[in-house]
Amino acid sequence: MNKELPPGLALQKVDERIMTLNVGPQHPGSGHMRIIVQIDGDFIVACDPDPGYVHRGEEKMAEYRNYITNIPHLERPVIHDSCNILYPYVLGVEELLGIEVPERAKYIRVIASELNRCVYTMYWLAIYGIFLGHSTMFMWPAGDRELLIDLLEKMTGARVTHAHFVPGGVRNDLPPNFEDVCLRQVNYFEKRIKEYAAIFYDNPILISRTANTGVLSREDAIRLGTTGSVLRASGVDYDLRKKEPYDVYDELDFQTNVLKEGDSYARSKIPWLDMMESCRIIRHALQKMPKSGSVRVKLKPNPKGGDASVYKRVESGRGSLGCYIVSDKKPEPYRVKLSVGSFRNLIALPYLLKGEKLGNMPSVYWSLNYWPVEADR
């Protein structure tokens, strides 16, 4: 039996008690990612995430397109949160080119960004319900999010992949009578998500399944470099919209939701609380928005940056999203790097799952606010 192994392979002794389970890409509990889980009875001994099933080479392809044609390209990682993905890129290009954005455009950008955040969070909540086996928790958010997608369709023309932000502002102005429709729908939306408390967040089985599982302490959350709702559920008060405000966030009033427990229940509750804050932001922005004005600064064709590099970051539904652009004097960027919240939170997964029960795996895994497509880019 001692035949020569092909080069590059090694023999590894396997413990008989441990079973390796491929929670693979074709699995109702994994999203588009493979998690190789080694279990001993009911306890997870080791976990090895294997992303990359949806890797499309966005960053490489971005080097072949110029700054403007990169916009529909770079919004693809999260299609329903596309405004937030584009936001740091657009802000970076504006800094490279030295453009000042008109006031009305800034408000429209803020409104679109918050609507996108809500749309993404509802989808995430729906999948969380599926992972826990709660089909109503899938149907209600998926249905209520249609209200906001409808608004975005009025605003940008597309339900997802909006491609609305351009360097210099937004592509089009709001349609007439948008403010009233938006206010009405956002108010109804807020009423609906307040009802989620009774059926989801006060549901005793949901609480007993997610509370005290996957506890991430404050020091570990900082050390692992997590971001977004994972960080705020562990007690760190860090929200980029407050710490490094971009566009008009410093003029709108909202609060950051922080919970201290750091378990899956807290991580699943923070996005829901954030959605209610988003509704406040939208209402306030609609009030303060200048009623007329230009929404775009016209650019010369084929804008070129100089020899510079910028790093801009934005708070999206999953956490802080950064874009590092290196430009030389060509119309195409030299390097575009997206630093996405999902990829940064992924390191918490093997850390948290060690020693967890197998039954907790879906709830811990998805509570990290992980979007597989974005992490792979």
> Per CB under 8 A, which of residues 221..260 are in contact with another protein?
222-225, 231, 236, 238, 243-244
Mark 338-377 with x for binding to another protein (rule: CB under 8 A) and - for no binding: -x---xx-xx---------xxxxxx-------------x-
134 counts as binding another protein under rule CB under 8 A:
yes
Signed CA dihedral, 203, 204, 206, 212: sign only: positive
CB 159 within 8 A of CB 152: yes
Question: What is the C-alpha separation between 182 and 293, in angstroms, rounded?
Answer: 19
- Whole-number minimum distance, CB 204 to another protein, in Å? 9
Residue 304 identity (one-letter amino acid)? K
CB 353 within 8 A of CB 364: yes
181 counts as binding another protein under rule CB under 8 A:
no
Q: Round to the nearest angstrom and report the end-to-end CA distance of the chain.
A: 43
- Whole-number minimum distance, CB 63 to another protein, in Å? 8
Residues 259-278 touching another protein, rule: CB under 8 A, are none
CB 74 within 8 A of CB 59: no
Applying CB under 8 A, among 143, 157, 175, 293 the residue interacting with another protein is 143
The region of 136-144, 172-180, 257-265, 289-297 touching another protein under the rule CB under 8 A is 136-144
Residue 23's Cβ-count burial label (10 Å; 0-12, 13-18, 19+) is buried
Residues 98-117 touching another protein, rule: CB under 8 A, are 98, 100
DSSP letter at 171 equals S
Residues 28-67 touching another protein, rule: CB under 8 A, are 28-29, 42, 51-52, 55, 57, 59-61, 64
Half-sphere exposure of 173 (CA within 13 A, CB side): 14
313 forms beta bridges with 322
Applying CB under 8 A, among 70, 84, 203, 367 the residue interacting with another protein is 203
Residue 29 or 331 with smaller CB distance to another protein: 29
Q: Is 233 helix (H, G, I), strand (E, B) or coil?
A: helix
131 counts as binding another protein under rule CB under 8 A:
yes
43 forms beta bridges with 40, 357
18 counts as binding another protein under rule CB under 8 A:
no
Any residues with CB less than 8 A from the CB of 9 and at least 6 apart, and which?
none
Applying CB under 8 A, among 305, 315, 353, 373 the residue interacting with another protein is 305
Residue 197 or 308 with smaller CB distance to another protein: 308
Residue 23 or 90 with smaller CB distance to another protein: 23
Number of chain residues interacting with another protein (CB under 8 A):
73
Applying CB under 8 A, among 214, 317, 322, 372 the residue interacting with another protein is 322
294 forms beta bridges with none
Question: What is the C-alpha separation between 68 and 85, in angstroms, rounded?
Answer: 15
185 counts as binding another protein under rule CB under 8 A:
no
- Whole-number minimum distance, CB 211 to another protein, in Å? 12
Q: Is 43 helix (H, G, I), strand (E, B) or coil?
A: strand
Applying CB under 8 A, among 206, 248, 314, 373 the residue interacting with another protein is 206
Residue 284 or 337 with smaller CB distance to another protein: 337
Residue 111 or 236 with smaller CB distance to another protein: 236
3-class SS letters over 74-114 = HCCCCHHHHHHHHHHHHHHHHHHHCCCCCHHHHHHHHHHHH
